[in-house]
């Protein structure tokens, strides 16, 4: 099969589109023929090994996971002996390392059936970003109907889902984004949209029950200043930070982890993990029409390197998707 492989850290120039063996599913895994995959900021951070301290976990000199990509949607072609939830022919979406390829192996617990009414490209846009938004709003944010939530970074992949999920939960939503994305965020259902080039939300009079930060461009003190009494701050920022740094957004994340010890959990750091039950919740929201993936651009699999360059350098709106026609074999 064809896959995008890297043997060293660097820009998209280090990626090679070449033939590799089709992976073999383990006991609790499914093999999926990938019809579409989406690009996340995490993909280019891993490609570059940024921030450098993350290489302690990713691989000191080269990435341990050599095929890029995580999100996917496609058709199950084989299952492991311990798989009970799926069988060949099932249309699915999910999250697993190595999705910028014609085939990917994924744990059955990180896979769910594709939402009816959505294309493969739309379904592939959901897993990582949608799961992050759901956990930030529902689990760590504990958002309730009628509460006020601010999403900092509302036009990004996670942000577009967070705005929609918060509205689905009955919240009053304020989205923060750039000038060119104001109408996009308003169209997602935000009650109020702040253009950060004209207005500093940390200096305004509004107070929020939940602040979901997806950017990491403010201090912890500034974020906490706009929380209502008993309000929660959920940090999942860093997608937009400049590469080549030692710790990147991890300085703020570490501060948030320390603050959580002294605030009764009102400051939380989000580490999203793929879960089938969360994908099922997202599938239901999509089938009910309460969330809709926003796809800005689509690239063919053979141009996944271009897609990564675009996501890294041009701060796209919402999601960028890679489309792969059904391959031959195995």
Task: State how far the Cα of 175 lies from the Cα of 238, in Å rounded to an integer.
Answer: 17
> CA Rg, the chain, in Å?
19
Q: Which long-range contacts (CB under 8 A, 24 or more apart) does 50-55 make?
A: 50/243, 50/244, 50/245, 50/248, 51/245, 51/246, 51/247, 51/248, 51/249, 51/250, 52/245, 52/246, 52/247, 53/246, 53/247, 53/250, 54/248, 54/250, 55/9
Q: Which runs of E-coded beta strand occur in 252-313?
A: 267-269, 295-300
Parts of the chain belonging to CATH 3.40.50.720: 129-269
CA distance 40 to 52: 18
Query: pLDDT grade, residue 263 (50/70/90)?
Result: low
Query: Given a cut of 70, is residue 330 above it in pLDDT?
Result: no
Instruction: Reply yes or no on whether the pLDDT at 190 is more than 90.
Output: yes
> Is the predicted pLDDT of residue 100 greater than 60, yes or no?
yes
pLDDT over 70 for what percent of the chain?
87
Confidence of residue 64 (pLDDT cuts 50, 70, 90): confident
CATH superfamily membership of 2-126+293-323: Medium-chain alcohol dehydrogenases, catalytic domain (3.90.180.10)
Q: Where in the chain is the domain with CATH 3.90.180.10?
A: 2-126+293-323
Beta-bridge mates of residue 162? none
Per residue in 280-294, pLDDT tens? 999 999 999 999 999
- pLDDT above 70 for 239: no
* Topology at the third CATH level for domain 129-269: Rossmann fold (3.40.50)
The structure's pTM equals 0.90
pLDDT digits 0-9 by tens, 16-25? 999 999 999 9
244 pLDDT exceeds 60? Answer: no
Of 265 and 65, the structure prediction assigns the larger pLDDT to 65
With cut-offs at 50, 70 and 90, classify the pLDDT of residue 246.
very low
Q: What per-residue confidence (pLDDT) applies to 329?
A: 47
- For residue 265, what pLDDT is reported? 57
**For residue 126, what pLDDT band results from cuts at 50, 70 and 90?**
very high
């Amino acid at each position: 099969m064809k896959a995008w492989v890297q043997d060293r850290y660097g820009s998209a120039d280090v990626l090679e589109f070449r033939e590799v063996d089709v992976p073999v599913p383990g006991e609790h895994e499914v093999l999926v023929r990938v019809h579409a995959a989406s690009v996340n900021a995490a993909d280019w951070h891993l490609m570059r090994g940024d921030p450098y301290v993350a290489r302690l976990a990713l691989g000191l000199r080269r990435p341990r996971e050599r095929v890029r990509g995580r999100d996917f949607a496609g058709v199950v072609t084989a299952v492991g002996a311990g798989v009970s939830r799926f069988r060949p022919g099932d249309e699915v979406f999910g999250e697993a390392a190595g999705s910028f390829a014609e085939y990917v192996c994924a744990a059955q617990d990180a896979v769910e059936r594709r939402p009816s009414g959505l294309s493969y490209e739309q379904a592939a846009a959901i897993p990582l970003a949608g799961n992050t938004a759901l956990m930030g709003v529902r689990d760590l944010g504990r958002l309730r109907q009628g509460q006020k939530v601010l999403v900092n970074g509302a036009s990004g992949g996670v942000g577009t889902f967070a705005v929609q999920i918060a509205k689905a939960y009955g919240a009053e939503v304020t989205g923060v984004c750039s000038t060119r994305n104001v109408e996009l965020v308003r169209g997602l259902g935000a009650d109020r949209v702040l253009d950060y080039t004209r207005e500093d939300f940390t200096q305004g009079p509004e107070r929020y029950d939940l602040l979901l930060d997806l950017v990491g461009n403010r201090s912890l003190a500034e974020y906490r200043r706009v929380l209502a009494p008993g309000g929660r701050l959920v940090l999942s920022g860093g997608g937009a930070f400049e590469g080549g740094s030692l710790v990147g957004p991890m300085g703020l994340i570490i501060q948030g982890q320390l603050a959580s010890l002294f605030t009764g959990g009102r400051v939380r750091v989000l580490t999203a993990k793929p879960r089938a039950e969360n994908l099922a919740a997202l599938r239901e929201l999509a089938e009910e029409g309460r969330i809709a993936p926003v796809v800005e651009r689509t690239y063919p699999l053979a141009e996944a390197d271009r897609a990564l360059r675009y996501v890294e350098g041009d701060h796209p709106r919402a999601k960028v998707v890679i489309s792969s026609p059904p391959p031959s074999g195995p």
